Amino acid sequence: MKFNTKVIHAGVHPDTATGAIMTPIYQTSTYVQEEIGVHKGFEYSRTGNPTRAALENNLAAIEGGKYGACFGSGLAAIDAVIKMLKPGDEVISTNDLYGGSYRIFTTIFEKYSIKFHFVNMLDVKNIEEKINNNTKLIWAETPTNPMMNIIDVKSICDLARSKDIMVGVDNTFATPYLQNPLSLGADIVMHSVTKYLGGHSDVVMGALVTSDDKIAEEIYRIQNSSGAVCGPMDSFLVLRGIKTLHLRMQRHCENGEKVAHFLENHPIVDTVYWPGLKSHPNHDVAVSQMKGFGGMISFTLVGDKLESAKKVVSKTELFTLAESLGGVESLIGHPSTMTHASIPREERIKSGVVDSLIRLSVGIEDITDLINDLDNALKI
């Protein structure tokens, strides 16, 4: 079954009771048992819910995995991964990391004696230098948030496999339509389902996908024990959103390319970060492991002034100033004061998150309108 068919059909079936073509919203907390231990596959909705199960099966299929698990948010999914570790274990992650991931690593799990190393993952040697006997997980984002760096997943996985280290990849920006880390050797793929998979800015959810039986067993144990699950209504909305993922991603990619080239040629724009540009570091890696380059773009302004960035993000009309990304509507944000404010300024600057950096989530509107909106906003 090809990807465009999987998003519509994989893991979902017409309702056996009524023939409904859409998976029903099983808005129930518990399930009748014929006798003790005899039931129809569901006992309690924290442990399992038919609507959530359909979504988990669908996500596993489109990501090329065997098992899917959904959570109340992307951070809840990451939380479950780190709970697989124990005190004394060490994690290597990228120095260009989503602020929420950095926050949960440093303010929650470091207190439990799990050590985190943040390195520039553009060169695999930087990872190798930090590996020791306590290293149990390598956690990567690619493309990274917000610098759009491309990390060579296969090279990392080859290194990790030789050291018996687990690899997790945040695939939120690329989505399964553009990139499949499991096929490159990753053990776990994480999605902030809130973003492109839901696609309509109306759900908060996270997901993990794996093909490893033991990892899956542990993920489900933590999911059930910690209880950070998503509800059936949200599961239904994401199932609906995924049915158009391939169509939306095609337009996100088309619009993203045109916006990136527009910005690259604008006189007050300094640097554009979009993996489809030949000038982008690791562009060749992006070509090798992605089917397209997506609709996420970051750029800096000439002079690198905070006030200039504030003027631009406040002048757009179609690009709405807001947190998050991946919806059908275009969004604009200022990472250093919004999504990455929890990272100390000196660390942000080191990774490229300077004061004038602006991040775009390019939507699926008419490209002429989007470029005109940016052109007007850049007249400062």
Residue 11, both tokens? 């893991």
| Average pLDDT of span 245-249 | 98
DSSP annotation string for 20-41: -SSPP----SB---SBTTB-SS
345 is catalytic: no
Please confirm, yes or no, whether 369 is among the known catalytic residues: no
Is the model's pLDDT at 166 over the cut of 90?
Answer: yes
Residue 40 confidence (pLDDT): 85
Which of 31, 46, 251, 304 does the annotation list as catalytic?
46
Q: Tell whether the model's pLDDT for residue 348 goes beyond 90.
A: no
pLDDT band of 37, cuts 50, 70, 90: confident
pLDDT computed for residue 319 by the predictor: 98
Residue ranges of the chain that CATH labels 3.90.1150.10: 245-377
pLDDT digits (tens, 9 = 90+) for 105-114: 999 999 999 9
Cα–Cα distance for residue pair 349/347, rounded to 1 Å:
5
Q: Determine which one of 79, 96, 152, 170 is catalytic.
A: 170
State residue 154's pLDDT score: 98
Measured between alpha carbons, how far is 44 from 168 in angstroms, rounded to an integer?
29
Q: Could you please report the per-residue DSSP string of 185-244?
A: T-SEEEEETTTTTT-SS----EEEEE--HHHHHHHHHHHHHH--PPPHHHHHHHHHHHTT
Indicate the CATH number of 3-242 among 3.40.190.10, 3.40.1790.10, 3.10.20.340, 3.40.640.10: 3.40.640.10
Percent of the chain at pLDDT > 70 equals 100
List 98, 102, 196, 273, catalytic entry: 98
Is the sign of the CA dihedral 6, 241, 190, 125 positive or negative? positive
**CATH 3.40.640.10 domain range(s) in the chain:** 3-242
For residues 96 and 351, what is the distance between their CA atoms, to the nearest angstrom? 6
Question: Model confidence at 175, in pLDDT bands (50, 70, 90)?
Answer: very high
Average pLDDT over all residues of the chain: 96
Interval 43-58: pLDDT, tens = 999 999 999 999 999 9
Fold (topology level) of 245-377? Aspartate Aminotransferase, domain 1 (3.90.1150)
Which residue's entry shows tokens 């059909």?
A: 9
Q: Find, among 358, 361, 360, the residue nearest to 327 by Cα.
A: 361
The model's pTM: 0.96
Task: Indicate if the pLDDT at residue 238 is higher than 90.
Answer: yes
Q: Is 170 a catalytic residue?
A: yes
Q: What is the pLDDT of residues 270-321, one digit of tens each?
A: 999 999 999 998 999 999 999 999 999 999 999 989 999 999 999 999 999 9
- pLDDT for the residue 351: 87
Instruction: Point out the catalytic residue in the list 6, 52, 83, 195.
Output: 195
98 is catalytic: yes
